[in-house]
């Protein structure tokens, strides 16, 4: 690829990323105040998968999501100890108190982020007039033998983490599992693909492809059984549901045949009709065996 082709490819990727960011921003702005505040406050904790799920679920399910979010991060604590949630918000308050001189609230600055994720340093050495006569305001934080450096290059209170310290933070963060438990992929949730075909204006055929390997089956008498429950909500721009589809899909496979089909998809096809226009489509797929739901939300044109 020549230089012009590479520049074009980079520009296309940048524009795609910008468009995606704009769409996400619009979705966040459409949330209620409590949901926006939750997403803002947990920015240092929430996984990509959790964020996507939160933005896709109906408003009525968000309170349950928030409760589950904190519960999965709790661990056993001694009497009198703070819960993980209490400790997290206490660190936000302390960061705001300690780092109040910048242009943003303390918890949103680099020093605040590190303080929240790693806790107070073992030792903090500050040089508000610079280490040398020609220097800039500098802070050295020590977590055991790991040093971190923050500098205020513009003398405006906005201390930035030195690039050479970023890797140290990553290493330290991985050692904090006693306070910040690992939250991996959400067990039991089904990753499915959605394809939309438009045979005519005002009509669409929704194809949902579910990998057999992701479906939890019950085995009895050498037969594997599962029931998938699919709900589709067609949404207007204000999130009002104007069409809803719900159905159960029982699946039976002889256990001897599973090796043959496990790399394939179980495909569901659902027709949808409405006045021509732009809509949102919320998909909720539940495995009746364990009740775990997977959410997706996409834009479609009819």
Confidence band of 158 (pLDDT split at 50, 70, 90)? very high
Fold of 193-301: Immunoglobulin-like (2.60.40)
Write out pLDDT tens, residues 170-218: 777 765 655 666 555 555 577 889 999 998 988 999 999 998 888 888 8
Q: Which residue is listed with tokens 């090796």?
A: 259
Reference 163, options 148, 173, 174; nearest CA is 148
> Which pTM does this prediction carry?
0.64
Longest dimension (CA), the chain: 82
d(CA 249, CA 244): 16
Q: Which residue is listed with tokens 């109040």?
A: 100
Which residue ranges make up each domain of the chain?
3-71, 84-174, 193-301
Give me the pLDDT at residue 180, please: 65
**Coil, helix or strand at residue 156:** coil
d(CA 248, CA 230): 6
Q: Which secondary-structure segment (H or E) carries 5?
A: helix 3-29
């Amino acid at each position: 690829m020549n230089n012009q082709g590479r520049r074009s490819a980079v520009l296309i990727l940048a524009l795609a990323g910008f468009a995606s960011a704009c769409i996400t921003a619009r979705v966040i702005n459409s949330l209620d105040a409590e949901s926006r505040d939750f997403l803002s406050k947990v920015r240092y904790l929430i996984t990509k998968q959790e964020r996507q799920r939160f933005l896709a679920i109906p408003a009525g399910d968000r309170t349950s999501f928030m409760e589950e979010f904190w519960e999965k991060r709790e661990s056993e604590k001694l009497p009198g100890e703070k819960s993980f949630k209490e400790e997290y918000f206490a660190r936000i308050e302390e960061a705001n108190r300690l780092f109040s001189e910048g242009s943003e609230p303390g918890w949103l600055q680099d020093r605040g982020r590190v303080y929240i994720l790693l806790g107070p340093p073992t030792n903090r050495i500050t040089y508000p007039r610079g280490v040398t006569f020609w220097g800039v305001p500098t802070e050295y934080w020590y977590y055991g033998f790991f040093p971190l450096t923050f500098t205020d290059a513009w003398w405006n209170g906005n201390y930035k983490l030195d690039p050479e310290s970023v890797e140290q933070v990553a290493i330290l963060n991985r050692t904090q599992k006693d306070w910040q438990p690992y939250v991996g992929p959400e067990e039991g949730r089904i990753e499915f693909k959605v394809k939309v075909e438009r045979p005519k204006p005002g009509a669409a055929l929704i194809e949902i492809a579910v990998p057999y390997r992701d479906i939890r089956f019950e085995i009895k008498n050498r037969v594997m059984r599962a029931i998938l429950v699919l709900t589709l909500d067609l949404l207007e721009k204000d999130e009002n549901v104007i069409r809803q589809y719900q159905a159960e899909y029982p699946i039976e496979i002889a256990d001897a045949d599973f090796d043959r089909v496990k790399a394939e998809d179980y495909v569901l096809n659902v027709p949808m009709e409405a006045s021509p226009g732009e809509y949102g489509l919320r998909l909720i797929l539940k495995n009746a065996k364990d009740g775990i739901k997977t959410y997706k939300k996409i834009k479609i044109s009819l």
